A and B are shown apart, each in its own frame.
Chain A
Amino acid sequence: MSSNHTLAFERRCRRLGVFAAVVAGSILVLDPVMWFLPGLAADTARGWGGLSDDQTITLTAGVLWTSFALSLLCLVIPARGLLVVRGLCNRLAAGKVFEPETGLLLRRFGVTLLIYACVSPFFASAIGFLVTVHNPPGSRILTFALTGEEALNAVIGLLILLMGSILAEAARLAEENRQIV
Chain B
Amino acid sequence: MPVVVNLDIMLAKRKMRSKELAELVGITEANVSLLKSGHVKGVRFETLARICAALNCQPGDLLEYRPDGDDGTAAGGAA
> Which positions in A face B, CB cutoff 8 Å?
176, 179-181
Contact = CB atoms under 8 A, between A and B. Distances in A.
B57 interface: no
Given A179-B34, A179-B41, 19 more contacts: A176-B41, A179-B39, A179-B40, A179-B42, A179-B76, A180-B40, A180-B41, A180-B42, A180-B43, A180-B44, A180-B76, A180-B79, A181-B31, A181-B34, A181-B35, A181-B40, A181-B43, A181-B44, A181-B47
Interface in B38-71: 39-44, 47
B45 to A, nearest CB: 11
B16 interface: no
22 contacts: A176-B41, A179-B34, A179-B39, A179-B40, A179-B41, A179-B42, A179-B76, A180-B40, A180-B41, A180-B42, A180-B43, A180-B44, A180-B76, A180-B79, A181-B27, A181-B34, A181-B35, A181-B40, A181-B42, A181-B43, A181-B44, A181-B47
Interface residues of B, number: 13
Contacts, number: 23
Nearest to A181: B31
Which of A176, A179, A180, A181 lies at the interface centre, i.e. has the most chain B CB atoms within 10 A of its CB? A181
Nearest to B43: A181
Nearest to A176: B41
Nearest to A175: B41
B28 to A, nearest CB: 9
A180 B78 CA distance: 9
A176 B40 CA distance: 9
